[in-house]
Structure 1
Amino acid sequence: MFSSPDFAPPRLAAVRPMRRFVVPLAAVLAAGLVWVLPANSLLWDALNRALSSPADGRVVVVGIDDATLRDYGRISSWPRDLYRQALDTLDQAGASAIGVDVLLADPARNDAALAAVFSRPNVVLATAPDEPTTLRPDWKSPTGISALNLSSDGVVRSFQAAYPDPGSPDGVAPSFARQLAVAAGRNVPLDSGDRILRYSAPHPQRLPVVPFRDVVNGTIRYGDFQNRVVVVGLTATGAGGPTVRDVGGQVVPGVELQARAVSSLLSAPFTTLPLWTVMLAGALAAVAAVLAGGLWGFGIALLALALAVPYWLLNTLLPGVTLSLCGVLGTGLVMLERGLTLRRTGVRDPLTGFGNRLAFTRALEGRWQTRHVRPLGLLLVDLSGFRKVNVAYGYAAGDELLRDLAERILRHKRRGDLLFRWGPDEFAVLLDNINSTELANLTRQVQLSLDNMTYRELHLQASVGGASTGPDIVQPTDLIEAASRSRYRIKYQREQWRI
């Protein structure tokens, strides 16, 4: 307990403050925390809502609404010529890319007649996740999986440019949004990493959803579609179409979320910081909190959260919550360090670094049960003349003398022995696993090292007494009394010798 370097006198051994251990521990724990929590979905949801992207005017939704279904009936019973008419109208209006977010895998009589329409490079057809990517051999338009990433709470926060597809040579198939962005001239890598779906708050100046029947009939303003990316899909209420919630909590048709995915791909992409960079930042936050001490870690935590805002505006995803937790972690370690220090201070002599009287009592009681296997010994050291030094030269001189005495005693310490300051000018050494012969030799060596001690012109005298457990020692107080009698006997003999 007291044999570690932490309990050595400050001038006697290399001092290793707890902070030397707390700093690397904070760095390691913070790096591990970042490893476990690399993403902050809730934080990014909040930033997505608070710093929503402006409506992208390049993306227009053509909705198959309730009025369209009343005019043409259920989608499954439509003549496919309606799609040809709509796509011809959009093509004449100058749309740069057209996405049909309607699953067309069901058989129909005039599919072959659509080969010319569904073979245009600027037209993208939607497929289901488990559906072949080639709908018909004579349809040459690119296809993409119509899918979004639905969280366990029913909210769509992200999407992917590609989804796993065992049947594909690369093991992945492009998403519908990615194919539509590519058709619009955007170079989007074919990767399956999650991408933030940018939230777009309702905007009064944004072009509203255009009814599909108006496009079929040609009753639209061509200027509204020139050089635009058009997404065609179901928006009717209660028609069984895909409706999910966005980060704003609103129930949104799937086609509108696909339009947001396309808009996200057309905008500057979000950058995810490398894991090692975030781990380093987390370690620095925790270490800074430890070195600053006090409650500065909470300030570092707030700063980490605040930095997430400018990083978001720069299209960079900073896990501010995780870095904030790293700062709090550092403060927690500071509190733990102080608690342990206070606990140690209660059983430690601040002048010499030895244990105090309370520590001696606990240590003796703790080792007493094993005295039959490992005999205990006790040395008591008394210094005569200490008070004279205090009176003549002051308390600072007395402290210097006690540190010198502690250093002399420490030189004889064996492995497993514990050192204590027994009283103002008394020291105790609890000896581990020692027999009577070894005790006598050690007592003599300590006594010789303390003989002829002086402080300036004052002569000092130390008396060393020792005892060890045996048949006549039945309780801890017996060992203390035996060592005290030995010490007083030595002291008396030395005083008689001087006379």
Structure 2
Amino acid sequence: MFTTVISCKLKQFAQQKNPLLTSVGVTLSLFFLRFLGILQSSECAALDLLFRLRTPEVVNERIVIVGIDETDLKKVKQLPISDQVITKLLRTLDSYQPRAIGLDIYRFQSVAPGQEELLKAIKTIPNLIGIEQLEDNTNLGVPALPVLRQLQQVGFNNVVIDTDGRVRRSLLYWHADGKVYTSFALKLALAYLRPEGITAKPAAVNREYLQLGKSIFKDLKSFDGGYVRADTKGYQVLVNFRTPGSFQTISMTEVLQGKIPPALLRDRIVIIGSTAASFKDFFYTPYSNRLMTAAQPIFGVELQANFVSQILGSALDGRPLLKVWSELLEWLWIGGWSTLCAFLIWRVRTLKSAFGLLLLVGVSLFGSCYLAFVVGWWLPLIPPLLGLLSSSGIMTSQVIVNLLQDIQEYQQLQEELKQQTATLSRHNIALKLSQGRLSYLVDHDTLTGLANRKKFYEQLNYYLNYASSHSQFMALMFLDLDGFKQVNDTLGHDAGDQLLRAVAQRLTNRLRKSDLVSRLGGDEFTVILPIIPQVEYAAKVADKLIKSISQVFLLEGTEVFVTVSIGISIYPLDGRKQEILIKKADTAMYQAKQLGRNQYYFSSSNYFSSPN
């Protein structure tokens, strides 16, 4: 209804040749589209284009990346890299007297040999900062080594990814469980800035803002720039990325062999991280897009270097941070360009002149946004550009009415062909859907939509092979509902089926996308956790599942309560063969029932700290 009214009004504006009403109508339409979030992706893409058009910056000499590439991995011949190699690398780097060393590698447990040596090294290198991943909506988190946590030498490395898969924001702080966590990048930057007499403090203009040296870091709001209702939890800022290749990168082997000049690392920030494609630690940034080739990501260590570089450049050199206007100024900007174009087009009499004016105004708009971007302002580009095109189109609509009438007959002649094509297309789509449905039913339970017994055995075999080749833990859970038979007997089979579907949905919602939930039959389910950092992780997941299932179910207006008993076996601690793990998980599940139900039980309590 709203769009119909707008269309009618715009048609009246065109007939009256009223540029003011035209610009007002166009601006209101753009406001509606922007509020719905339809323009967010295109506005972010326009920001990316401005990044790629900007003149490349010089190499940042304050930061050096020590990359662990494929050649390094072949030489160490061990994955994960042993504590002994990491210790030697840290000791060597520390001898060059850098201001800070960042270890952008997950180390949540020791990797023999060299455990004691690594602990001693960490305690004697006070400027070493490690990473941890905090639990959020998409992952359960990865802890740091306890000794790093005790020494407060840890920063989180969680990354905010936009809906199009690009990273345009960074986190400085995160609030969870009543605590304030500091990011890995900010920890490294503060370690570098401390000798310069610069520390984090509230800004004088607003004590909620962070000030470091010359710059004030304003936290991002959900409607800032081109974002619409963005998730801005924590303390987020827009990232003013440097051109790819702006950081000096050396290999781990070069460091261990002593081939690095001392001056290259002295008084620098050194960040250690993976530059091996096999680790798949990479992200897409505004520079990733290419006109004629596939998007090129950057490694996670280079992303963290960009985060650190932005903080240092702003605090020490006054390098501009990306800022945005208030919403009022943005709408005046958008409406102003639409009005300007409408009045200019209204004064011309030919399509050629109108096109020339439109081109001139469009170039002026783009140039203004580019110059503003160079000095640190992200101004709306797509909405005013659409306003220019819409205003000019409406004002010149009467000139092309006759042309539209001329092509109407041609469209009618093609209508029959389109209808025949549409009919064939519908038949093809129906055939493809039928084929897809048959393929789906082979591997999935028809009642719950979960993987069936066939799919469970196939995936279990695959995950066991993967865990074996990568020396990883894997957990297998057998779940049985407590009280399901009573629900079936009292409320009927339809209610029982509803309960099974609801249970399946709750299980799926509480697990990672990489985990597999299956229904073996009746009220028996299985869960495969393919890669877990430690045995305690399985206990944490099981506890979440128990709490979720114990919540009330509403079946046809009746409140129903059931619980779940869970048996857990761990690869390779409980065995390496499929049938052994299944048997032990099933036995553990029955043990959980005998102990009182509504709980989980491990097949064994004598687990090792790492897989053999």
TM-score (norm 1): 0.55
1:227 aligns with 2:267: yes
Higher helix share: 2
The one of 269, 276, 301 aligned to 1:255:
301
State the number of aligned residues: 317
Partner of 1:57: 61
Q: Distance in 2 between matches of 1:150 and 1:17?
A: 45
| 1:264 and 2:310 are equivalent in the alignment | yes
Does residue 67 of structure 1 match 2:71?
yes
Name the counterpart of 1:8: none
**Is 1:126 aligned to 2:136, yes or no?**
no
Mapped pair 1:212 → 2:258: no
Equivalent position amino acid for 1:123 in 2:
L
**Higher RCO structure, 1 or 2 (CA under 8 Å, sep 6+):** 1
**Alpha-carbon separation, structure 2, partners of 1:167 and 1:303:** 50
Partner-residue secondary structure (3-state), 1:76? coil
Equivalent of residue 192 in structure 2, options 170, 184, 199: 184
- Aligned mates of 1:214, 1:175 — CA distance in 2: 29
CA distance in 2, matches of 1:323, 1:17: 20
Distance 1:66 1:29, change over 3 A: closer
Distance 1:167 1:302 in 2: 50
Q: Deviations over 1:390-431 (max 9, x none)?
A: xxxxxxxxxxxxxxxxxxxxxxxxxxxxxxxxxxxxxxxxxx
Q: Retained in 2: the 8 A contact 1:118–1:141?
A: no
| Aligned-residue offset at 1:199 | 4.2
Q: Which residue of 2 aligns with 1:281?
A: 333
**1:308-327 → structure 2 map (5 Å cutoff):** 308-327=369-388
Q: Could you tell me how far apart the structure 1 residues matched to 2:78 and 2:191 are?
A: 29
TM-superposed CA distance for 1:244, in Å, is 4.0
- Shift, 1:222, TM fit: 0.8
Of the structure 1 ranges 114-123 and 264-273, higher mean CA displacement relative to structure 2 is found in 114-123
Measured in 1, the distance between the counterparts of 2:99 and 2:64 equals 11
Shift of 1:112: 5.8
Give the alignment partner of residue 307 of structure 1, picking from 368, 381, 384. Answer: 368
- Separation in 1, partners of 2:255, 2:283: 26
Judging changes above 3 Å, is the alpha-carbon distance between structure 1 residues 54 and 148 closer, same or farther for their aligned structure 2 residues? Answer: farther
Tell whether the 8 Å contact from 1:33 to 1:322 is kept in structure 2 after alignment.
no
C-alpha contact (below 8 Å) 1:301/1:327 kept by paired residues: yes
Flag the 1:73–1:282 CA change in 2: closer, same or farther, 3 A.
same
> 1:134: how far off?
5.7
Cα deviation digits, residues 187-243 of structure 1 (max 9, x gap): 38575435235142447xx63x222133234442110012211110112343x3413
Query: Deviation at 1:99?
Result: 0.8
**CA–CA separation in structure 1 for the residues paired with 2:242 and 2:20:** 46
Local SS of the residue matching 1:315: coil
Closer/same/farther in 2, CA of residues 337 and 285 from structure 1, 3 Å limit: farther
Match of 1:272, SS state, is coil
Q: Which residue of 1 aligns with 2:598?
A: none
Distance in 2 between residues matched to 1:183 and 1:141, nearest whole Å: 13
Q: In the alignment, does 2:94 pair up with 1:91?
A: yes
Task: Measure, in 2, the Cα distance between the counterparts of 1:66 and 1:308.
Answer: 42
Contact 2:108–2:143 (CA under 8 A) maintained in structure 1: no
Residues of 1 paired with 2:88 and 2:277: CA distance? 24
Aligned-partner Cα distance in 2 for 1:137–1:98: 16
Distance 1:264 1:86 in 2: 26
Shift of 1:72: 2.2
Distance 2:131 2:243 in 1: 23
Instruction: After superposition, give the CA deviation of every residue in 1:369-398 in whole Å (9 maximum; x if it has no partner).
Output: xxxxxxxxxxxxxxxxxxxxxxxxxxxxxx
Q: Where do 1:430-449 residues align within 5 Å?
A: none
Structure 1: runs of 5+ lacking an equivalent: 1-15, 341-499
Contact 1:196–1:270 under 8 Å retained in 2: yes
Match 1:136 to one of 143, 146, 155: 146
Q: Is the 2:119–2:147 Cα contact (8 Å) retained in structure 1?
A: no
Q: CA–CA distance in 2 between the matches of 1:291 and 1:103?
A: 60
User: Rg larger in 1 or in 2?
Assistant: 1
Match of 2:177 among 167, 189, 209: 167
Question: Are the equivalent residues in 1 in contact too, given 2:20–2:339 (CA < 8 A)?
Answer: no
Contact 1:123 1:183 in 2 (8 A): no
- Please give the alpha-carbon distance, in whole angstroms, between the structure 2 residues aligned to 1:126 and 1:75: 19
User: Aligned partners of 1:18 and 1:152: how far apart in 2?
Assistant: 39
Instruction: Please provide the CA RMSD for this pair.
Output: 3.4
Code of the aligned partner of 1:143:
V
Structure 2 residues without counterparts, runs of 5 or longer: 1-15, 136-140, 199-211, 220-233, 289-294, 314-318, 347-353, 402-612
Pairing 1:197-208 to 2, within 5 Å after superposition? 198-202=241-245, 207=248
1:245 deviation in Å? 4.5
Q: Percent of aligned pairs with the same residue? A: 18
Q: 1-side partners of 2:23 and 2:168: how far apart?
A: 37
CA distance in 2, matches of 1:116, 1:107: 13
